[in-house]
Structure 1
Amino acid sequence: MNYPVIEFPWLGNGMIIAIIAIIHVIVSHGVAIGMTVLMVSLEYQGLKTNNEKLINVAKTISKWVLIITTTVGAMTGVGIWLVTSVIQPDSIGSLLRIFFWAWFAEWIVFITEVVLLIIYYYTWDTWKGAKRKIHFRIGVTLSIFGWLTAMIITGILSAKLTPGKWTETLSFWNAFLNPTYIPSLAFRTFIAILLAVSLISLPIRLLIKDKEVRRDVFKVFSFWNALTVPGVLITGIWYLLSIPDEAKDLIIWSTGMPENIFNMLHVLGLALFLIFALWMAIKPERVPVILTIAIFFTSIAFIGEFEGVRESVRKPYIIYDYLYANGVEAAKVEKFNEEGYLANSAASPIKEVTAENQLEAGRELYKGQCIACHTVEGWRTKRNFGDRLEGWDEAALSGYISTLHETRPFMPPFVGTDDERDALAAYLIKVSNEGLDADLTQGSKEKDDEKEEQ
């Protein structure tokens, strides 16, 4: 623990990151990449067939792409930086050291994307005649720059699961061009367009009353469905085959669902997407409202699940084979076990466990090694110590902590001395029974009195 940490005791630190990240992925993939492709495709088809109504649909979409990308997209992008910096500072610090220039390049690309989007939107009515071709080319360039942001960020995200030879060479290119980079990028590309079709079909179906226009729009969408539905399946399998076996084993576990429920829901979801794609291709003018509603929410659920699974299957690491989920470097475990975790923690005011400060030391160990995933009083019972530790005593918990990474392979090992492990167990039992407002000083005094009586 080299930095001060912030705790969100009810939601949990991981959930805060997940909420912002899911919103950002929906916007960055579904809107900035996917909807941009659809919008430019509608403009192309409108110019090709001299269909002004289709061009007007593209113009309306561009308005919302501009608004959503520059507000929700930008704010959640910054939000991810903010929350990861205060919740997982060791992780974000490590990634910055590896990918500083990649992130800088992504920022330049994003600024260029926003400029192109502004030009694209504000020249609809002024670029007429021959200039319409220039406007369309601006749209194509915009689509390319939107995809380039994903191309850069995917290299960073995929390296967290499969850093490849980077752990040996510390080479930027070994980290960026990691074993899952290409399959992950291909998968995300198809996902972005399929997500956009799924999201925008509902407002198209509800708001466009002209059946001919709606038919023409859905014909364009059906073309992309024909590419993206099989594309998602093929690249998804490719990506799945590329990840470590240990990660594969955690996929169903990370969803929190029994295996039979997991399989049933995903078969039903796939069937729903296939029905949607076929219906749009065969009867584009008669796509049912209920089907567009079902696809809208199913696609959001899928993205939420995918992002949650992608984060969870890395456990016990946050950067595979390098940094554990609680921010402890794998290479320093042995050192911390010998010298003490607190003695090597820059942010902890306590450096050694004593009888007087045992509970306060336990709190520092909890902050350093537990709150990345767990809470004391949170809503998630599986990660809530108040619920999970009911009926436990300090001795039993201390013994369990020493082997938890063996009984639960997705858990990082406890790092520290025996005294530190006992201190963490004492603190967790104390706050699990009395809550976060427990008097830790009083608890230490009571222990001193017990020792004196003995």
Structure 2
Amino acid sequence: MNFPTVEFSWFGNGTIIALIAIVHVVISHGVAIGASTLMVTAEYHAFRKKNLKLDAFARNMAKWILIITTTAGAMTGVGIWFSTTVIQPDSIGSLLRIFFWAWVAEWAVFITEVVLLIIYYYTWDMYKETAKKMKHIRIGIALCIFSWITAAIITGVLAAKLTPGKWTETFSFWHAFFNPTYLPSLGFRTFLALLLAISLVSFFVKWLIKDNKLKEEIFRIFSIWAAISIPGILTTAIWYLQSIPQEAYDLVVYSTGMSEKMFDVINLTGLGVILLFIFWAAIKPKTMPLILSFIVLGASMGFIAEFEFVRESVRKPFIIYDYMYANGVLAKDAEKLNKEGVLTHSTFAETTSVTPDNMYEAGREVYKSQCLTCHTVDGWRSKRALSKRLDGWSEETIKGFIPTMHHVRPVMPPFVGTEKELEALSHYLYNVVNEETNTQQAKEEKEHDVRASAAHPQ
């Protein structure tokens, strides 16, 4: 451990990052990129058709895009930095060394994006005249371009974690950034941003706008972008899946926790609902049911959450493929740590050696360095809670399983450490699991006694 560890014991470290990231992606993709594109398109159509109501709708969109991106969007963006830095410092440290100048460029682009958004919204009345309106629309187009460039830069960083390509050999920034899944990932995110924006805004259009003619005009614009987005999403998704390692591809369905049949049914149903929505919006927008808009909103949110979850999960056992394991151990250091031990190389470990008197304490330090990133002792996710996964296991069984776990479960990094550290980890896990089990049993017995006393008062 080169850095101090932080543990969200019940919720799970990975869950914290995932929740912040999903909210941020919905805002950065669905609002900043997708909704901005819809907004500028609506303003352009309003200008061409001299439709003041459509222009007012576009302006109202600009207000909410400004509010959401500069508050929740900015906070969750910082939240991702903060959470990943304290939970996965080795990973974020490596990415900063690789992509330092990319992140500097992204920061400059983001600032420009915010400035353009502020200018775009607050100069709306200045460009009311027909002769000046195209200047305002051009500002909006520039805003959309800079919003997209922000995603284009970040996509290079995120895609490299799964497919670093030649970077593991050359350590070249350009090989890392323009990695094998960069283009399909960027295309997929671009089209998904548009679809997500359509589903987000459509729900509020159907709910809040009463003017049927205006509603029809808005849905017609949305249906055009949807007709572009759906084929784009399907094409780039196939391209993306063909570009990832075979080991990662084999984990796509497994990582969702669903069976293949359930995976197919849920995703095809979601796609079918979205297609139904698009055709309905294009043909009979006035009769669009509010419930359908709500279902499409849920389906779109589900797709983006699934994509982010799968993207993160299929990298296992690595966090940077073929370079760094999910627990922060460099693949090239595994052999050395097996000989010398992980505790002697753990800067912040309270115990740096294993003795008969400190087996529990040393085991906990090994647990923090090897398991804590993905697992909890107890928690809401039964697949990650060791008190549930190891319930009923003997200490010897745990010790025998750990060295082979990466063969049984490919998502698990191999155990790294000496034989004594293996014994300490097994000792700690056995005791902490049984402590948790005994505590839970005592709690259940106490609750049973309380209910019995209430049912049969003396």
Q: TM-score, normalised by structure 1?
A: 0.95
1:389-400 to structure 2, matched below 5 A, reads 389-400=390-401
Distance 2:406 2:167 in 1: 25
74-83 or 258-267, which deviates more: 258-267
Corresponding residue of 2:263? 262
Corresponding residue of 1:405? 406
Corresponding residue of 1:214? 215
| Deviation, structure 1 residue 12 | 0.2
Corresponding residue of 1:126? 126
Corresponding residue of 2:448? none
Percent of residue pairs identical: 60
Which runs of no fewer than 5 residues in structure 1 stay unpaired? 439-454
Q: What SS class does the counterpart of residue 7 from structure 1 fall into?
A: coil
Q: What SS class does the counterpart of residue 126 from structure 2 fall into?
A: coil
| Deviation, structure 1 residue 139 | 0.2
Corresponding residue of 1:49? 49
What does the per-residue CA deviation read over 1:330-357, in whole Å, with 9 as the maximum and x for residues that have no partner? 0000000000011111121221111111
Corresponding residue of 1:384? 385
| Deviation, structure 1 residue 433 | 1.2
* Letter aligned with residue 53 of structure 1: K
- Contact 2:363 / 2:425 at 8 angstroms: preserved in 1? yes
| Deviation, structure 1 residue 76 | 0.3
Corresponding residue of 1:25? 25
Distance 1:416 1:175 in 2: 30
- Contact 2:387 / 2:437 at 8 angstroms: preserved in 1? no
Given the superposition, is the C-alpha separation of residues 323 and 56 from structure 1 closer, same or farther in structure 2, using an over 3 Å criterion?
same
1:21-420 to structure 2, matched below 5 A, reads 21-129=21-129, 130-420=131-421
Q: TM-score, normalised by structure 2?
A: 0.94
Which aligned runs of 4 or more in structure 1 are off by greater than 3 angstroms? 435-438
Corresponding residue of 1:444? none
What does the per-residue CA deviation read over 1:88-116, in whole Å, with 9 as the maximum and x for residues that have no partner? 00000000000000001001100100000
Q: What SS class does the counterpart of residue 318 from structure 1 fall into?
A: strand
Distance 1:131 1:362 in 2: 70
| Deviation, structure 1 residue 202 | 0.3
- Contact 1:431 / 1:437 at 8 angstroms: preserved in 2? no
Distance 1:346 1:165 in 2: 31
Distance 1:435 1:330 in 2: 33
Distance 1:186 1:390 in 2: 45
1:7 maps onto 2:2 in alignment: no
Which runs of no fewer than 5 residues in structure 2 stay unpaired? 440-458
What does the per-residue CA deviation read over 1:208-237, in whole Å, with 9 as the maximum and x for residues that have no partner? 000000000001001101100111111111
Distance 1:428 1:288 in 2: 53
Q: What SS class does the counterpart of residue 127 from structure 2 fall into?
A: coil
Distance 1:168 1:346 in 2: 28
Distance 1:77 1:306 in 2: 18
Corresponding residue of 1:432? 433
Given the superposition, is the C-alpha separation of residues 211 and 396 from structure 1 closer, same or farther in structure 2, using an over 3 Å criterion?
same
* Letter aligned with residue 142 of structure 1: L
What does the per-residue CA deviation read over 1:357-386, in whole Å, with 9 as the maximum and x for residues that have no partner? 111011111111111110001111111011
Distance 1:349 1:403 in 2: 27
| Deviation, structure 1 residue 126 | 2.2
How many residue pairs end up in the alignment?
A: 438
- Contact 1:30 / 1:195 at 8 angstroms: preserved in 2? yes
* Letter aligned with residue 256 of structure 1: G
42-51 or 256-265, which deviates more: 256-265
| Deviation, structure 1 residue 285 | 2.3
Distance 1:214 1:240 in 2: 37
| Deviation, structure 1 residue 305 | 1.1
Q: What SS class does the counterpart of residue 319 from structure 2 fall into?
A: strand
Backbone CA RMSD of aligned residues: 1.2
Distance 2:338 2:140 in 1: 57
Distance 1:170 1:348 in 2: 30
Distance 1:437 1:26 in 2: 42
